[in-house]
Each structure stands twice: as structure tokens, then as C-alpha cells.
């Protein structure tokens, strides 16, 4: 698959924001203001707001995917407070796996993330697998090694063909550039996208991983997104805080649409 055929995706990660009472209206506002050809839009609300968001988007007849922010690695059992892939059936079609905050706050390991990924694929959910390095790792030049290790740990026990069929997406999160005041450059993101696809190729993905979309996920804003979308190896964004602001989402998706249109014209 050539890069022009990769999906251009903007995924909104609302994190622990919104309630069922206000999530629907926010989803409607974002969906109505981000209708841009060639861009796949995904909204990932908290578990408790999945139904409200789904209902709001159905009423609007909006072509927006709905994603969960996490999934458990077991099908069922004595796991208080957890949500399995089967429970998400009918509520979501996408799922974020291995977000840096889950790795940090819940101690999720690459092995555990790989199990979650397998469950998501079995359930027919489209996974967004997050990888990325901490500040100390970046400062000591370990960023490539860290991301390679994360990818091998999460993907090593899964068949590449299954992951390609599940339309796997990778989100590169430079953790050091999230909420710290530090910023990554488009060149930084492109270099890491190259590392990601090189590693996917080593793991047996067809075409050296060129068919797998790579999103940028480091404090994305409408003002900054252009630098990242200008990189041919970057296929969209995983948006955090800015995804709660319809104006910001409108600007981000509009810029992603420029990339989608340019790629379409070269196919």
C-alpha cells in the first residue's frame, strides 16, 4: 500500500472529561463542524458517555467513529471496574490501547498491552496502539530503542496479517511533549514514524509497514498541526485536550483534509 492510500485519521481522546449529560452535545458540535472529505473522524469519550455519544451522532447522521479509551485483556472474570472487548460490542468500533497515561498510571506493560490488542482484534475493534518515549529517554538518545521495544513487546505474539486485517493504527506520543511546555517538531515525528514502520517491517508486516497509518499525539493543537501533517509519513492526529474544543477540532480536521486532498490527487 502506498502512503497516499493510508487513511487520514483524527481521533479525539476526551480522557476523563464529560458526563452523559453533556457528551452528546459536544459530540454533535464537533461532528457538525468537521465534515471534511477524506478524513476519518473518531471520538473516544469515557465509558459512561459512549451511549450518549452514539445516540447523538445517530441523530445527526454523522459519519464519525466511536472509540473506547481502554479495554481489559480478559474476556470476563473477577475484575472489578474493568470493561471487556465483548462489553464494547455495539458501543464502539475503535479502541485506544497502551496510552502513555495508562502505562504511567496503571503500570501497563508491553506484554499486557499486547494481550489487550489481541482481545480488541478478536472483537472486531479497530485498535489505535500508542507508543512513545519519556523525556529522560529522549535526552539520552534512547527514543528509537524505546519505541522499538514497545512495538515488539505488544505486537510480537500477534500475526501481522491479523493486525493488517484489523486496520491497526499506531499513535506516536512523545510523552515529553505532553503538557510539559516542550514541543516536538514535525521532523521529530517523521523520524519516529520511520522507526515505527522499520520495526513493523522487521516484525513481518507487508510492504515494510508502509500500509499502517501513524498518527501524531503530542499536545496537538490547530496552530501546530500543520507542521506534522506536512510530513508524508504522518497520517493524522490523536488529539487530547484540544478535542474538547469544537473550534480546535474544526481547525485540526480542516488541516488534515488538506493532506487528504493532496494525497488523493497523487493516486
* Catalytic choice (101, 108, 133, 173): 173
Q: How many Å is the Cα radius of gyration of the chain?
A: 17
Neighbouring CB atoms inside 10 A of 59's CB total 11
Distance CA 102, CA 113 (A): 10
Q: Which residues pair with 42 in a beta bridge?
A: 11, 65
For residue 86, give Cα distances in angstroms to 1, 78, 116.
31, 15, 12
Query: Is 173 assigned a catalytic role?
Result: yes
Which of 73, 99, 227, 248 is catalytic? The answer is: 99
Q: How far apart are the C-alpha atoms of 259 and 267, rounded to whole Å?
A: 13
How far apart are alpha carbons 85 and 173 in whole angstroms?
A: 24
- 145 catalytic per annotation: no
Total count of residues recorded for the chain: 267
Enumerate the active-site residues.
99, 173
Amino acid at each position: 500500500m502506498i502512503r497516499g492510500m493510508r487513511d487520514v485519521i483524527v481521533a479525539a481522546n476526551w480522557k476523563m472529561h464529560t458526563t452523559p449529560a453533556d457528551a452528546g452535545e459536544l459530540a454533535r458540535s464537533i461532528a457538525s463542524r468537521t465534515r471534511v472529505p477524506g478524513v476519518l473522524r473518531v471520538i473516544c469519550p469515557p465509558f459512561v458517555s459512549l451511549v450518549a455519544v452514539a445516540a447523538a451522532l445517530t441523530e445527526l447522521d454523522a459519519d464519525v467513529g466511536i472509540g473506547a479509551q481502554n479495554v481489559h485483556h480478559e474476556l470476563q472474570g473477577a475484575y472489578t471496574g474493568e470493561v471487556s472487548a465483548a462489553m464494547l460490542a455495539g458501543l464502539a468500533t475503535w479502541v485506544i490501547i497502551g496510552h502513555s497515561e495508562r502505562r504511567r498510571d496503571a503500570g501497563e506493560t508491553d506484554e499486557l498491552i499486547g494481550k489487550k490488542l489481541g482481545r480488541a482484534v478478536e472483537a472486531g475493534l479497530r485498535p489505535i496502539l500508542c507508543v512513545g518515549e519519556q523525556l529522560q529517554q529522549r535526552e539520552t538518545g534512547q527514543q528509537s530503542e524505546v519505541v522499538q521495544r514497545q512495538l515488539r513487546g505488544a505486537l510480537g505474539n500477534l500475526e501481522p496479517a491479523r493486525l493488517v486485517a484489523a486496520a491497526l493504527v499506531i499513535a506516536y506520543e512523545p510523552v515529553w511533549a505532553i503538557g510539559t511546555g516542550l514541543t516536538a517538531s514535525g521532523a521529530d515525528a517523521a523520524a519516529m514514524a520511520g522507526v515505527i514502520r522499520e520495526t513493523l517491517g522487521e516484525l513481518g508486516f507487508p510492504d515494510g509497514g508502509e500500509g499502517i497509518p501513524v498518527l501524531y499525539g503530542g499536545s496537538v493543537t490547530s496552530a501546530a498541526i500543520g507542521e506534522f501533517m506536512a510530513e508524508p509519513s504522518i497520517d493524522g492526529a490523536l488529539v487530547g485536550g484540544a478535542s474538547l474544543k469544537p473550534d480546535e477540532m474544526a481547525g485540526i480536521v480542516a488541516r488534515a483534509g488538506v493532506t487528504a486532498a493532496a494525497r488523493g490527487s497523487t493516486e
